[in-house]
């Protein structure tokens, strides 16, 4: 699993699974530098795409199910030397929280929350990895990124809010110092990582144009936040939700449903959304022409039972048995067009499997996305009408891109190939005998091996 590379100043930057960030000359492929940032023997990996901001390569780690400690690291783009590292858990000095840290909500201003909201020393193996997307606002000079789930999944072993897992940070790219933070899912009990993409938009909210950050979150809500302060302006459900009761806009607090809290050896059923969230890491797209946000997402629920998890470095640290299943309607995926300003769905397309492809919308009012059984689709951006589709050799969980070629034509490209949770099911040819395979994803996907194939192919299409 690898989520991409970055280009800056004639170099390409990418991460390896064994925790190395590499810079190569874009013309020759000659290696400029290589820096090791983590220890794979402790369960750390790196799967995210780096982002270069002001001469610094920003990278984070993966491994939240292995009892690792999450971080974001900045490397000098010219030399590969570490400029700063901000941990997701631990004392403020480690999290790079100092005098400039001014979160909007008073409860988040207390010192050393990355320690006090955990049982003794558990923050050292508490997760909060940074394996998703990073965004940069050059006007406010802030980088934004989310943190992953706390570990272990068994919430009884880590009472407290478990800051700063399942959260978002706004940081100074030069120093790494935090300006504000907000926790999407305090004391996350359902693996609702907060690593999804940030859309930085200027929109008319409440009668005036606001600089907002928009996030369709794994916990099932579309958050619209003031990206300068971290205030939650709205949080609306875009899927069927049983795991929580809403978000209090006065306090910013996410309100979990205690009936769905999986205590040790206590079976809990029909938790919606399931652990992959209402939407996982697959990116959305926004069109300023239609004012709509295009969301590829899941329609999954799960049954769980927690158990005691023991920490052994480099091995799974989970403590939860999970079986996932389709949500209401029986389909497992949807593609939704959402009006951010008016806070409502405009149209939806139901899909057989979770939609793990990213979305792409063009100025010609065409939206592209792929399905897990391998269809690459183009639909009308205003009404969702199918315009064209092409069957690729494998399921699509990659991101469509568009570009103008040297011949002046516009092209759209997509990588076909199943990976991640879905890849574990397909590669193992799951037959339904063990629905807990792939952390329970197999329970919802026993028919995937019959609907797609393994593979990895780049397809490029020209537009008229």
- The overall average pLDDT reported for the chain is 96
Expressed as residue numbers, the domain containing 81 is 6-258
Predicted confidence at residue 431, as pLDDT, reads 55
Catalytic residue among 191, 197, 217, 303: 191
191 noted as active-site residue: yes
User: In the block, which residue shows the tokens 């091996």?
Assistant: 449
149 noted as active-site residue: yes
Let me know if residue 429 belongs to a domain. Answer: no
Catalytic residue among 149, 219, 298, 299: 149
Strands 134-137 and 142-146: antiparallel
Catalytic residue among 19, 44, 61, 65: 65
CB-hemisphere CA count at 13 Å for 83?
A: 22
CATH of the domain at 26: 2.140.10.10
The strand order across the sheet containing 208-216 reads: 199-205, 208-216, 221-226, 232-237
pLDDT tens string 87-140: 999 999 999 999 999 999 999 999 999 999 999 999 999 999 999 999 999 999
Let me know if residue 413 belongs to a domain. Answer: no
pLDDT tens string 282-304: 999 999 999 999 999 999 999 99
State the Cα–Cα distance between residues 167 and 175, nearest whole angstrom.
20
Let me know if residue 268 belongs to a domain. Answer: no
Let me know if residue 57 belongs to a domain. Answer: yes
Which residues are registered as beta bridge partners of 352? none
Let me know if residue 84 belongs to a domain. Answer: yes
State the Cα–Cα distance between residues 443 and 329, nearest whole angstrom.
17
pLDDT tens string 26-74: 999 999 999 999 999 999 999 999 999 999 999 999 999 999 999 999 9
Strands 56-60 and 71-76: antiparallel
Q: Which of 201, 278, 208 is nearest to 236 (CA)?
A: 278
Q: How many domains does the chain have?
A: 1
Let me know if residue 209 belongs to a domain. Answer: yes
Joined together, the tokens standing for residue 389 give 């589709």
pLDDT tens string 230-273: 999 999 999 999 999 999 999 999 999 999 999 777 899 999 99
Contact between 332 and 324 under an 8 Å Cβ cutoff? The reply is no
Let me know if residue 310 belongs to a domain. Answer: no
pLDDT tens string 153-197: 999 999 999 999 999 999 999 999 999 999 999 999 999 999 999
Let me know if residue 291 belongs to a domain. Answer: no
Length of the chain: 464
């Amino acid at each position: 699993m690898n989520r991409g590379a970055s280009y800056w100043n004639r170099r390409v930057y990418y991460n390896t699974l064994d925790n190395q960030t590499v810079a190569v000359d874009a013309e020759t492929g000659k290696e400029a530098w290589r820096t090791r940032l983590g220890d794979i023997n402790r369960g750390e990996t790196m799967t995210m795409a780096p982002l270069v901001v002001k001469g610094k390569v920003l990278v984070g780690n993966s491994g939240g199910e292995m009892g690792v400690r999450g971080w974001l690291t900045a490397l000098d783009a010219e030399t590969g030397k570490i400029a700063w590292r901000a941990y997701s858990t631990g004392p403020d000095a480690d999290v790079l929280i100092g005098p400039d840290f001014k979160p909007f909500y008073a409860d988040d201003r207390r010192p050393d929350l990355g320690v006090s909201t955990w049982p003794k020393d558990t923050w050292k193996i508490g997760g909060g990895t940074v394996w998703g997307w990073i965004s940069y606002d050059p006007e406010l000079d802030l980088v934004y990124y989310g943190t992953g789930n706390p570990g272990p999944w068994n919430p009884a072993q880590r009472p407290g809010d478990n800051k700063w897992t399942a959260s978002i940070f706004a940081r100074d790219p030069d120093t790494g110092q935090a300006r504000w933070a907000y926790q999407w899912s305090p004391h996350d009990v359902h693996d609702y990582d907060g690593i999804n993409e940030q859309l930085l938009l200027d929109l008319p909210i409440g009668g005036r144009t606001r600089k907002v950050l928009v996030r369709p979150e794994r916990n099932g809500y579309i958050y619209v936040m003031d990206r300068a302060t971290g205030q939650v302006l709205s949080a609306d459900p875009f899927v069927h939700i049983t795991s929580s009761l809403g978000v209090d806009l006065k306090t910013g607090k996410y309100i979990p449903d205690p009936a769905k809290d999986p205590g040790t050896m206590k079976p809990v059923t029909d938790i919606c959304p399931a652990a992959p969230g209402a939407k996982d890491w697959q990116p959305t797209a926004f069109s300023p022409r239609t004012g709509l946000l295009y969301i590829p997402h899941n329609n999954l629920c799960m049954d769980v039972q927690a158990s005691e998890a023991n920490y052994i470095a480099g091995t799974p640290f989970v403590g939860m048995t999970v079986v996932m299943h389709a949500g209401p309607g029986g389909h497992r995926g949807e593609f939704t067009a959402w009006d951010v300003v008016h806070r409502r769905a405009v149209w939806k397309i139901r899909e057989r499997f979770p939609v793990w492809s990213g979305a792409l919308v063009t100025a010609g009012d065409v939206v592209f996305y792929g399905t897990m059984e391998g269809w690459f689709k183009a639909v009308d951006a205003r009404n969702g009408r199918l315009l064209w589709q092409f069957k690729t050799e494998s399921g699509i969980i990659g991101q469509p891109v568009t570009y103008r070629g040297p011949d002046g034509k516009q092209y759209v490209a997509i990588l076909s190939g199943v990976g991640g949770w879905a890849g574990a099911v397909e590669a193992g040819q799951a037959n339904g005998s063990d629905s807990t395979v792939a952390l329970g994803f197999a329970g919802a996907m026993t028919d995937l091996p019959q609907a797609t194939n393994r593979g990895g192919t780049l397809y490029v299409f020209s537009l008229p």
